[in-house]
Amino acid sequence: MKQRLARLRSILDSLGLGYMLVTKIENVRYLSGFGGSSAVGLVTPTDSILFTDGRYKKQAPAQASGWEIRVYTRSVFREIAGALPAGERFGFEVTCSFDFHKKLSVEVDQGRLEPLDSIVEGLRATKDAEEIELIRAALGCAGAGFEAIRTMVTAGSSERNIAAELNYRMTLAGADGPAFDTIVSSGPNSALPHAPLTDRPLSEGDLVVVDFGAKRDGYLSDTTRTFLLPGADARAREAFEVVSGALEEVLGSLKPGAKASDVDALANEYIAKAGFAEHLSHSLGHGVGLEIHEKPTLSTISTDVLEPGMVFTIEPGVYIEGLGGVRIEELVLMTQRGPEVLSADIRV
């Protein structure tokens, strides 16, 4: 945590700021270790203060080692104002709510507030060794859950039952819960990239997309597998082969320093050349950590560069209305030597 705070202070110093309010709860956790649901952090040139409520008066000191804990009973905004030197400018996260900003402005002159965008998120894009191990642990829970339900993905099982069993099995394996709403979509439903769960029973010949992840100690995993049930037609099999080929093409090209936009373009070109351009629906991938979608972003408009320590998904997909969809998603760690596919052991 000390190194994370040091990196943040270095950035603030370059911006001419000594103080920053951290309101996004994932960023609070990243900097302090506090895992509760309500807190505001104040980073100063020499100290760090965590403001939270009475529910966490025991938990906060235990988790946020090295932080001064201030439990407020009335207005957190007055507490924050009281901790700031008179006239001092300070940064605040633009992701805070309008209501938070409005109430803070009552206690602090707006001229002292400096909006900051994606400062801590930028730090979070590169994971340290501890974070990588936590992501591996979350992925282990997800993989164990998936292994337990693979035989359920067969004609007659329902989407809802498979998802419920997968969530249960991930929790039994040690997960704190699913990382997001588990997706099990079959047949024509799978043509929707983020299809809602239904009671539809799987049928012979279906494409079945299972998108799942686990949460463990705040960190998340994300993986997708597509099943081709017996009797799938030629078009479905072709779509599966094209997506598999695009995935292999991208993984073979990944290296430190690659532009995320170039990686996305490579997958799109591969799929387009195979005749499936009109069936592309989303960008290639996203970072995973304390949030299921964070930096880096792998899209045509991304300015991100893939660096060692980044953990992100590679998830090409095609979606054919009336037939179904195919998505295969791997969770990847970029290392100095190239990509490590963390989810490689999760097999259909």
% of the chain residues with pLDDT over 70: 100
pLDDT in tens, 39-92: 999 999 999 999 999 999 999 999 999 999 999 998 999 999 999 988 889 999
Q: How sure is the predictor about 110, in pLDDT bands with cuts at 50, 70 and 90?
A: confident
Q: Is the dihedral of CA 81, 83, 87, 88 positive or negative?
A: negative
Residue among 87, 120, 106, 102 at smallest CA distance from 21: 120
Residue among 154, 128, 63 at smallest CA distance from 348: 154
Helix (H, G, I), strand (E, B) or coil at 211: strand
Q: 228: which strand partners? A: 207
Question: Is the separation of the CB atoms in 153 and 165 below 8 Å?
Answer: no
pLDDT in tens, 10-34: 999 999 999 999 999 999 999 999 9
Q: Is the dihedral of CA 6, 295, 25, 143 positive or negative?
A: negative
Q: Which residues contact 281 (CB under 8 A, 6 or more apart)?
A: 193, 317, 319
How far is 227 from 206, CA to CA, in rounded Å? 8
pLDDT greater than 90 at residue 126: yes
DSSP state letter for 201: B
Q: How sure is the predictor about 140, in pLDDT bands with cuts at 50, 70 and 90?
A: very high
Structural tokens at position 111: 């001229």
> If you write DSSP's letter for every residue of 103-130 in order, what string do you get?
HHHHHS-GGGEEEE-SHHHHHHTS--HH
pLDDT greater than 90 at residue 263: yes
- Could you tell me the domains of the chain? 2-124 (3.40.350.10), 129-341 (3.90.230.10)
